[in-house]
Amino acid sequence: MAESRKGAGVFVRAFRPLRRRGIQRLSQERWGVGRSIWSADAEDRTLVVDQVTVSQEEAPERIGRVLDLVDGDTVCVRRRRFVWDGKPVLLATSCLATSLVAGSALTREDTGPGGTYARLAELGCKPVHFREEIRSRMPTKDEAARLSISAGTPVILVCRTAFANESRPVEVNEMTLDAASYILEYDFDA
């Protein structure tokens, strides 16, 4: 894949795309035993989460609607940037109802083994179903800068909602992926 840099020329990107295994990565067999869901994609490669912020914010309308919140409710917002083999490839923003996660490891930068889904299980809200919506577009200036991509490189947007028992939505995770860095793979039985 070639990448154009204004005033510098055209360069070949040597980065080997990640194979994002959309279904296998979310299995309880992975996070339920303390493994990161990202390890499904890693193979023999190095993953670093080099930016993590956690804050409490008023729920945006679209997030509040999905999480069944009322006006004025807040969410715990977890923002992360994922870097593979030294290349930023993914920005992720998770929103969880503050009333659900207050005082738990989900309000800290390091959630511990198994990550968000293992902590939700400890809170009695084990994810049993996921829904992902996928779109693509050109990146914003901020996204291009944070992902170290040119403005002409598209991004893939994945919005995942995690549901606990009785179809209760417990997390909305909005992810922005460098489209040139990913192959999306979905493997399931008929």
Query: How many independent structural domains does the chain possess?
Result: 1
Q: Which pLDDT score is estimated for 21?
A: 65
1 falls within a domain: no
Reading across the β-sheet that carries 155-164, which strands appear in turn?
47-58, 74-84, 87-97, 168-178, 155-164, 129-137
Task: Report if residue 4 sits inside a domain.
Answer: no
> What's the pTM value of the predicted model, to 2 decimals?
0.82
User: Which residue, 44, 80, 83, 46, is CA-closest to 173?
Assistant: 80
Tell me if 22 is assigned to some domain: yes
pLDDT of residue 182: 87
pLDDT exceeds cutoff 70 at 79: yes
Handedness of CA 144, 145, 149, 150 (dihedral sign): positive
Q: Residue 10 falls within a domain, yes or no? A: no
8 found inside a domain: no
Could you tell me if 10 and 150 are in contact, meaning their C-beta atoms sit under 8 angstroms apart?
A: no
Report, as an integer, the average pLDDT of 113-138: 94
Q: Choose the weakest-confidence range: 37-51, 77-91, 160-174.
A: 37-51
Q: Is residue 144 part of a domain?
A: yes
pLDDT of residue 189: 75
Average pLDDT over residues 53-81: 96
Containing structural domain, residue 90 = 16-185
User: In angstroms, what CA-CA distances link 163 with 66, 125, 143?
Assistant: 10, 8, 28
| Choice among 2-11, 68-77, 144-153, 178-187 with the minimum mean pLDDT | 2-11
CATH of the domain at 58: 3.40.1410.10
| Residue 5 covered by a domain | no
Task: Please report the pLDDT score of residue 102 as a whole number.
Answer: 96
Task: Give mean pLDDT, residues 87-106.
Answer: 96
